[in-house]
Structure 1
Amino acid sequence: MSEPKLKAKLFIHAAIRRCSLQALPAVVAHKGDEDSGTILVRVYMGGRQCRVYGQVRDAEGRLGWLCATGPQPVDEERAEAYVARARAIDGDLWVLDVDSADGSAPFLEPLFRA
């Protein structure tokens, strides 16, 4: 049985708050369904490098995050292309942008590896 999931809007507000506590700028780039929208997080790392994370569940049903763009940072254009494709598939998608020089965000836990 999988753990319960927060409503998307509540999760986004909490994520922005956690970022602000660590002086990390975070903004909603695209607003999705307030209750059950899927969430993508685009982390800008400076130097035009990004990572895009998506929520996934592991084999035991635990909710976590996976870097959707692979283990290495990608350029902003490739990250934007990934987000655009995801939005074309899922109109309820939320996109949260975070600026973090080291590529981390305080709410991206647990982080799964592909």
Structure 2
Amino acid sequence: MSERLPAHLEISSMIRLAETNGGFAMVLAKGERDAGTILIVSMFRGEDTRLYERMPQLDGTRPFVLTKSQDIEKPKEFDEYISRRRSQDPDIWVLEVDIDNPERFIALLPK
């Protein structure tokens, strides 16, 4: 049996974690219920948007890693990137989290 939590349970726990830390989280796209990849779009008060994805490490951990930041000069590029990812992999979950200190929130997530 896999040690990995089903994606829908992981998403639910992230939403609760954001809310208990004074933030707000919303599912933008539902993926495969049990094994879908999770992308986290983080921001604070709608600004400084960043994308985090799980990246497997050599030591077996799977931390969320910053993979893209929104360019203020080209705001649509960020949304287009997520749309491309979703078209390549329809099993992807996209969770948007608006919270003070998004980096601290990401650090709270299990690896």
Please give the TM-score of this superposition, normalised by the length of structure 2.
0.82
Deviates more, 1:78-87 or 1:27-36: 78-87
Q: Please say if 1:74 is aligned against 2:70.
A: yes
Q: Please say if 1:60 is aligned against 2:59.
A: yes
Deviates more, 1:76-85 or 1:100-109: 100-109
Instruction: Give the whole-Å Cα distance in 1 for the aligned partners of 2:39 and 2:13.
Output: 15
Moved over 4 A (4+): 107-111
Instruction: Give the whole-Å Cα distance in 1 for the aligned partners of 2:81 and 2:107.
Output: 19
Measured after TM superposition, the shift of residue 54 of structure 1 is 0.5
Segments of 5+ residues of structure 1 without an aligned counterpart are: none
Measured after TM superposition, the shift of residue 74 of structure 1 is 1.7
- Relative to its length, the structure with more helix (as a share) is 2
Q: What residue in structure 2 maps to residue 93 of structure 1?
A: 92
Measured after TM superposition, the shift of residue 6 of structure 1 is 0.8
Q: Please say if 1:21 is aligned against 2:20.
A: yes
Segments of 5+ residues of structure 2 without an aligned counterpart are: none
Task: Tell whether the 8 Å contact from 2:22 to 2:99 is kept in structure 1 after alignment.
Answer: no
Q: Tell me how many residue pairs correspond in the alignment.
A: 107
Q: What residue in structure 1 maps to residue 105 of structure 2?
A: 106
Measured after TM superposition, the shift of residue 109 of structure 1 is 4.8
